[in-house]
Amino acid sequence: MRWNGWKLGMVLVILLLVSGCGERRELETSAFVSVIGLDKAEQDHQVKVTFQISNPQVNTTQSAEAQKEPPSDIVTITSVDLLSAKELAQSSLSREITFSHLQTIIVGEELARDDLFKHIIGSAIIDPEMRRETIMIVSKERAQAFIHANKPTMETRPHKYYQFMEDNWRKTGFSPVSNLNAFFQRTEGELFLAAYATAERDPIGIRHDDDYSAGEVPQDSGDPVQMIGSAVMQEGKMVGMLNGEETRISQLLRRKNLIETMTAEFPDPLNENYQISLVLNQSSHTEIEVDTDRSPVKIDVKVPLQVKVNSNIALEDFTASQKRRDALREMVKEKMEEASDSLIKKLQENYTGEPFVWYATARRNFWTVSGFENFEWGEKFKEADVDLHYEVSVTSFGEQLSPPAFKKFEEDK
Amino acid sequence: MIQVSDGKIGTREFFSILYGMMAIRVTDSTPNLLHETGLTAAWMMPLISAAVLFVPLMMMLSLLKKGDTDTDLLQLLTELTGSILGRLITFLIFASVFSSTVLNGRSYGDIVTVMYYPDTALLIVMTLLLGAALYISHRGLEAIGRTALLVVPVFMVTSVILVLGVASQLNFLYLFPIAGAGGWEVIKGGVGYSSFFADIIIVGVLASRVRTFEAYRKASIWGLWVPAFKMALFLAVFVMIFDYPAVRNIAYPYHHLTRMAMIGSLANHVEAFFLALWFIGAAIHFATYLYISAYLLGKLIGYPPYQRLLLPLAGAAVVLGMMPENHLQGDHLRKLLLQSTSVFFLLLPALLWGLDRFRKKGKR
């Protein structure tokens, strides 16, 4: 047996060493797709796929050799699906396309509103190279135009741009954190919010704080792309839109809020001429209770909210008395409840479902899966009584004990 | 102190072998079978399976205890059921162990070619996998035990890291409705699929190779419950991350989980790390299976140098494993195998225990 073991061992060692060469991929022979854009093509059942391919040599130590090369290359192919487009793109591209660093999928609104989209995205996920944590963004214009227009000044490399933007969403709440995994979780009528973006400008004038959709934020110069608000998707199809404020509120109404902080404007309770900007965050989960036994269904939502006063344009002094602080708290509570109620009303009127993952809470009341499926949550939500309560606590007044004394001087005069 | 090797293994080695045999099922198509039956309540099924198997295990342990230290399952079989029936049952055990080697070998090969190396031939992956398993098993049970002991603690730690790596993306509410397909369905499924843990009965054939009976008892009780809990935990994690019904569509949820895992914000492509560990785990899993197959076949045909059977068996496993056209066929066969052997392994110790009782009465 001894000689046998030796021989076997040698063969195995050799096999072990060479097996690594089986499917090696060299950096310089790969084309790393960092963004994919999907659009409706002119013909039926065809899709225009835009690949934005990163140039790995830019911004690295090798950049001296590739000074004249652009940071990315953009190729658009019309085909029946993503997989064949990937293959067809190879006809003009010298390097082998790989999705292993794909982070973002941009869907043109026209395609997102089409029945074709669920087929495209549903078949794309079958490809093992596709990762479920890929972020999905719906663009107002065609995705191809969006990708071409998106030339951020600070971020030369496209994947960094999207990564940093996504990090931003967690701090502003303007866009929902929307990856494909969440998209595929909600295929049975639940609403899914995808980030909404555009590189076009459509100014509508000055509005209240975060009441903007993408393209409407008053901005002069700077990067062309705006990402704010969300596209409402149901059963793999875009059915509507929410603006920045509604998107933020829908994040707050979830049990598990993915947004760390957000800053919002409220009317100043002490001085109606001014607004006050407040930093909002949540210290604990939103509590949701669903009573499915009664009809219509009753939903109780308790949203804990912490408020920090980090700016105070009216220069009113909140630290002087408890009464003033109570007024601030009441005002925040009232405004938030008002806005949330109108969002829920809008959803109930326009859609059969909700984007707050309340269906997961409703599932607790059921013993079996088939019991819940027969219940038809979407329809029941349309009629539901929703009782919203914000529990506001004011935790900080910034780094000044009281506002500077200009005002007092003014009054004395 | 350096002890002279006596070819026997202790509690820790035996436990590691059992862990390597059963806990790795989390990573193949087992969760799919369970999710299909139990829906959101699939996580209860391994616990039900383990509870159901615990009774036969206890019966077998009580029988093993009575004999001297060298008693094993095969001896009990010949003693209690006679030579012919004993051989038939031995053959059935061999058939179930070997066919499970073949079907799982194919299934693991499929995982590698589908998820990681799409351009590599299945034959190469299977040859490499079973070749590595052959190499380990060829060194004997002691070597399998030591290798397992070396890596099993690493597996346990990395499982915890993996769950922590995805923890922020989990939502426990997705586990509801709590009874999934319905209480009765879940219990039925748990019993029907109890042969996922039938290895705990099968390893009775190695009982005489464990140093003491106490070591055997301890290792097999831990070796049943730890993998069962790990399986339950991962089934729950799969539902919590992918949600029902999406989880039913995902072919190899464990491998998707390793892709979703993030350690900090920089290390977000960590699946290669888990792939390497998983492949080592698979090699140990198949080493044990090959070893038991060869051991049983040796006993069956009365061929004492059973280690020489390892090579032909490994070759046969590769060839037979290549036969199904795709993994769906293999999975279908696997389902049939599991359901048919469940009853067999649940009843076998009961049968032996009954015979033992009967014989004692007769003596009196």
pLDDT at B294: 93
What percent of chain A clears pLDDT 90, i.e. is strictly above it?
4
Max mean pLDDT among A225-234, B67-76, B264-273 falls in A225-234
- Closest CB from A184, A187, A366 relative to B177: A366
What pLDDT is stored for residue B226 in this prediction?
A: 93
Q: Do A133 and B259 touch (CB under 8 A)?
A: yes
Is there a contact between B173 and A255 if contact means CB atoms under 8 Å apart? yes
Q: What pLDDT score was predicted for residue A235? A: 87
C-alpha to C-alpha distances, B339 to B147, B190, B336, B342, B343, nearest whole angstrom: 31, 11, 5, 5, 7
Which of A126, A127, A185, A292 would you mutate first to test chain B, the one with the most B CBs within 10 A? A185
Pick among B122, B124, B176, B239 to test the A interface (most A CBs inside 10 A)? B176
* Cross-chain Cβ contact B260/A133 below 8 Å: yes
What is the average pLDDT across A163-175? 85
Q: Under an 8 A CB cutoff, do A8 and B259 touch?
A: no
> Mind listing the pLDDT tens digit for each residue in B47-100?
999 999 999 999 888 888 876 667 788 888 888 888 888 888 889 899 989 988
Q: Do the Cβ atoms of B228 and B49 come closer than 8 Å?
A: yes
Burial of residue A283 (number of CB atoms within 10 Å: 0-12, 13-18, 19+): exposed
State the Cα–Cα distance between residues A380 and A361, nearest whole angstrom: 14
pLDDT tens-digit readout, A32-44: 888 999 998 888 8
User: Å from A349 to nearest chain B CA?
Assistant: 27
When pLDDT is cut at 50, 70 and 90, the band that residue B1 belongs to is very low
Is residue A50 within a helix (H) or strand (E), and if so which, with residue range? strand A47-54
Which carries the bigger pLDDT value, residue A89 or residue B359? A89
Using only C-alpha atoms, what is the Rg of chain A? Answer: 26
- C-alpha A106, offset from chain centre: 12
**pLDDT number for residue B313:** 93
Contact B273, B267 (CB under 8 A): no
Omega before A296 cis (within 30°)? yes
Interface contact A185-B115, CB threshold 8 A: no
Q: How many CB pairs under 8 A join A and B?
A: 92
Reported as a pLDDT band with limits 50, 70 and 90, residue B293 is very high
Highest CATH level, class, for A253-413: alpha beta
Q: Name the CATH architecture for the domain at B11-363.
A: Up-down Bundle (1.20)
Average model confidence (pLDDT) for chain B?
86
Whether the CB-CB separation of B148 and B13 falls below 8 Å is answered with yes
Average pLDDT over chain A, rounded to an integer = 83
ipTM: 0.83
Chain B residues touching residue A181 (CB < 8 angstroms): 169, 241-242, 260
Q: Which of A36-40, A399-403, A405-409, B73-77 has the lowest mean pLDDT?
A: A405-409
Query: CB A132 to CB B256 under 8 A?
Result: yes
What's the pLDDT tens digit per position in A90-143? 888 888 888 888 889 999 999 999 888 888 888 888 888 888 888 899 998 898
Residues of A with Cβ-Cβ distance to B139 under 8 angstroms: 5
pLDDT at position B363 is: 67
Residue A17 Cα to chain centre, angstroms:
44
Residue A413 has pLDDT above 70, yes or no: no
What is the residue-wise DSSP string for A296-353? S-EEEEEEEEEEEE---TT---SSS-HHHHHHHHHHHHHHHHHHHHHHHHHHHHH-SS
Q: Does the pLDDT of residue A412 top 60, yes or no?
A: no
Amino acid identity at A259: I
Report the residue of A369, A370, A374, A377 to disrupt the B interface, i.e. the one with the largest count of B CBs within 10 Å: A369
Q: Closest to B132 (Cβ–Cβ): which among A12, A366, A367? A: A12
Nearest CA in chain B to A254: B171
Give per-residue pLDDT as tens, A326-358. Answer: 888 888 888 888 888 988 888 888 888 888 888
pLDDT in tens, A6-18: 887 788 788 778 8
pLDDT digits (tens, 9 = 90+) for B172-185: 888 888 888 888 88
Q: In chain A, which residues touch B (CB < 8 A)? A: 1, 5, 8-9, 11-12, 15, 19, 22-23, 100, 128, 131-133, 181, 184-188, 255-256, 357, 360-361, 363-364, 366-372
Q: Kindly list the domain boundaries of chain A, sorted by start residue.
A: 28-243, 253-413
Is the pLDDT confidence value at A383 over 60? Answer: yes
Which residue, B252, B248, B274, is CA-closest to B263?
B274
8 Å CB contact between A237 and A115: yes
Residue of B nearest to A21 (CA): B120
Distance (Å) from the alpha carbon of A362 to chain B's nearest alpha carbon: 9
pLDDT number for residue A407: 59
Q: What percent of chain A has pLDDT over 70?
A: 92
DSSP annotation of A27: G
Q: Any idea where the domains of chain B sit in the sequence?
A: 11-363
pLDDT for B364? 62
State the smallest CA–CA distance between residue A154 and chain B in angstroms: 20
Taking the CA of residue A369 and the nearest CA in chain B, the distance in Å comes to 5
The confidence score (pLDDT) of residue B67 equals 64
From the list B1, B8, B345, B26, the residue with the least C-alpha distance to B198 is B345
Contact B135 A15 (CB under 8 A): no
User: Above pLDDT 90, what percent of chain B?
Assistant: 27
Residue range A220-239: average pLDDT?
A: 85
Quick check: A15 and B114 CB within 8 A? no
The answer, yes or no, to whether residue A63 has pLDDT greater than 60, is no
What contacts B19, CB < 8 A, 6 or more positions away?
B148, B152, B155, B156, B223, B226, B227
Which chain A residues are Cβ-neighbours of B266 within 8 angstroms?
none
